[in-house]
Homo-oligomer: A and B are copies of this chain.
Amino acid sequence: MRNALGREIPSDIVGNTSLRPYGEATCDGPERSASRCVVSGAAKLLPDLKTALREAGARNGSTLSFHHHLRNGDHVLNMVLDAAAELGLTDLRIAPSSIFPVHAKLVEHIQRGVVSSIYTAYVVGPVAAAIGAGDLRDVAVLQTHGGRARAIESGELAIDIAFIAAPTADDYGNVNGIDGPSACGSLGYALVDARHARRVVAVTDHLVPYPARRADITQDLVDMVVVVESIGDAAQIVSGTTRITDDPIGLEIAATTAKVIEAANLLVDGFSFQTGAGGISLAVAKFVGERMRSAGICGSFAAGGVTAMTVQMLEAGLFSCIFDVQCFDLEAIRSYRENADHQCMSASLYANPWNAGAIVNRLDAMILGATEVDLDFNVNVTTRSNGSITGGSGGHSDTAAGAKAAIVTTRLRAGLVPKIVERVTTATTPGTTVDVVVTEAGLAVNPGRPDLKDRLIAAGIPVVSIERLRDFAAAGSGSCCETRLIDDGRVVALQQYRDGTVIDVIRQTRRQ
């Protein structure tokens, strides 16, 4: 036969194979890519979110995803769901990487049936309360940051439309987080959504001439661009500065933790480290940094949500690079913008247990928090002791599983409520992945790590049993930790472990 160019193509070439002759291309390949085909000259800029939802094929029951780099300053999730509600959409499944108090309006959308299913790695505020009270039609799925990446990459969580809160974008969908009034730094969590969603919409308040440089997310992944007045409240996106605790108990816990890391023989050249942005964690980083400096240790990398403290350590030469999934403060954003060794890390690179090896696998020491720890070293960061939802794993289970030393730092009690308990209210992170629990009354080592216990004792660090810590915690506790759980309350959420299995369920609680 002759193709559209008049070239003779033997029929055994185009007849017996899936090959078609030139001129008869179809845009119906086996993957989402084939159905997009943004051709030269086509425009991606759309007038508003409603148009974007329509163009992206949003329907009742669609899955919409969001990321949380704008944290409690995020306007995008609310704006998109308002637009969806105005379009009359119902039964939406949403998959924000985290949900904050700013998303209170989502409660209305849940109650009206606009949203009936939620997948997220972290949820606090009114939405957490609404899920706990049983307002959501489906059982909410609480993931880990790495587990969310796994679910998306493996197809377990198929995203129809990913909305990218874009601090800077051009008209063709190149997106960076370093410029603009809502700059947030790394867009690590959004990278996975952008790569795997069926359609991707960038929402920006800072449209720049093409091409937006240093894009974390590039035009080949973004189908549409919508310009809005504001994607976020800068004051709520990042802290001006993250603060080290000045509380003597917190400082004592931090100092002990730094000693544990050294006694565990981890503080050698090549040391790698991650902490959160909490006051005790930052104090641990400070003490560890001082020790590295005085001992002349060259670490390999620091990872995580990144703070000014991490940046200081990089700039002091204590680490050769940073892997950054999100920036917590302005210094982190500045460093991410200026320093090539301050690198972006996708949520998959960070923590996905099903790829060829996440960064958490190479962590030496991880400093973790806890709502509760139990006698099996299981950690709860999902609910309060009374059963109400307050958070979820985020990267907790991922880093605990990966790090050589996963160290929980916690006070014995929150107010009068004991935090070292017989059995956690909700299991978020399995005790088999937690090595040490450090409190103001001493520290306990997981019996699964006798080697570590021996090292600490040899270094003169007093080690007590977890039962002893439980007793200390109980001794000073009050009667305020009354459950809010409803008898025979239905399961309102499940805590999914990073590998996709169900590690625990969360049941309905009374409204406050």
The answer to whether A494 touches B300, judged by C-beta atoms less than 8 angstroms apart, is no
Verify B357–A172 contact, CB threshold 8 A: yes
Segment of A33-41, A59-67, A459-467 in the binding face: A33-41
> B361, A39: Cβ atoms under 8 Å?
yes
Please name all residues of chain B whose beta carbon is closer than 8 Å to the beta carbon of A427 when the two chains form the complex.
5, 7
- Residues of B contacting A352 with CB < 8 Å? 33, 220
Interface contact B154-A30, CB-CB below 8 Å? yes
| Least Cβ–Cβ distance between A343 and chain B, in angstroms | 7
Contact B20 A501 (CB under 8 A): yes
| Contact of A213 (CB < 8 Å), options: B18, B39, B343, B431 | B343
Q: Are A300 and B211 in contact (CB under 8 A)?
A: yes
Interface 1/0s, chain A 213-247, versus B by CB < 8 A? 11100111111000000000000000000000000
In-complex Cβ contact of A209 among B37, B173, B270, B500 (8 A): B270
CB < 8 Å neighbour of A5 from B20, B340, B378 = B378
Query: Is A357 touching B38 in the complex (CB atoms < 8 A)?
Result: yes
Task: Kindly name the residue among A8, A27, A213 whose own CB sees the greatest number of chain B CB atoms within 10 A.
Answer: A213
A502/B13 contact (C-beta < 8 A), A155-B30, A173-B356 known: yes
The chain B residue sitting closest to A303, CB to CB, is B211
A351 to B504: give the CA distance in the assembly, Å: 46
* Partner pick for A220 among B270, B343, B356, CB 8 A cutoff: B356
A362 to B23, CA, bound (A): 23
The reply to whether A355 and B221 form a contact with Cβ atoms under 8 Å apart is yes
- Determine whether A9 belongs to the interface, using a CB cutoff of 8 Å to chain B: yes
* CB nearest to A43 among chain B residues: B357
Using a CB-CB cutoff of 8 Å, which residues 258-288 of chain A contact chain B? 270
In A10-29, the 8 Å CB interface with B consists of 10, 13-14, 18-25, 27, 29
Q: Give the chain B neighbours of A42 by CB distance below 8 A.
A: 357, 361
A505 in the interface (beta carbon within 8 A): yes
Contact of A24 among B39, B213, B501 (CB under 8 A): B501
Contacts of A36 in B (CB 8 A): 354-356
Q: Which residues of B contact A14 (CB under 8 A)?
A: 502
Contact flags A134-164 to B (C-beta < 8 A → 1, else 0): 0000010000000000100111100000000
Q: Given A5-B427, A430-B5, check contact A502 B355 (CB 8 Å).
A: no
Interface pair A220/B348, CB less than 8 Å apart:
yes
Q: How far is the CB of A369 from chain B (nearest CB, A)?
A: 20
In the complex, whether A451 has a CB less than 8 A from a CB of chain B is: no
Is A78 on the interface with B (CB-CB < 8 A)? no
- Looking at the assembled complex, report how far the CB atom of A42 sits from the nearest CB atom of chain B, in whole angstroms: 7
Q: CB of A3 within 8 A of chain B?
A: yes
B-facing mask of A344-386, CB < 8 A → 1, else 0? Answer: 0010110011111111111000000000000010100000000
C-alpha gap A432/B467 in the complex (Å): 79
B213 touches A321 (CB 8 A): yes
In the bound complex, CA of A499 to CA of B219 (Å): 19
Interface centre among A27, A341, A505 (most CB of B within 10 A): A505
For A211, what are the chain B residues with a Cβ–Cβ distance below 8 Å? 300-301, 320-321, 323, 362
Within 8 Å CB of A504, what residues of B?
3, 5, 7, 9, 22
Q: Are A361 and B501 in contact (CB under 8 A)?
A: no
> In the bound complex, do residue B402 and residue A210 qualify as a contact, i.e. CB atoms below 8 Å apart?
no
- Given the known interface contacts A21-B501, A505-B13, the answer about A401 and B220 at a Cβ–Cβ threshold of 8 Å is no
Min CB distance, A193 to chain B, in Å? Answer: 14
Cα-based distance from A355 to B173 in the complex (angstroms)? 12
Q: If A30-B154, A430-B5 touch, does A503 touch B22 (CB 8 Å cutoff)?
A: yes
One digit per residue, 1 when the CB lies within 8 angstroms of any chain B CB and 0 when it does not, for chain A 36-59 equals 111111101000000000000000
7 residue pairs of the A-B complex, CB under 8 angstroms, read A13-B502, A14-B502, A31-B154, A44-B356, A211-B362, A213-B320, A218-B349
With A9-B494, A44-B357 already in contact, 16 other A-B pairs whose C-beta atoms are closer than 8 Å? A5-B376, A19-B496, A19-B502, A27-B354, A29-B156, A30-B156, A33-B354, A38-B356, A39-B353, A200-B356, A209-B300, A211-B301, A211-B321, A213-B340, A219-B349, A220-B348
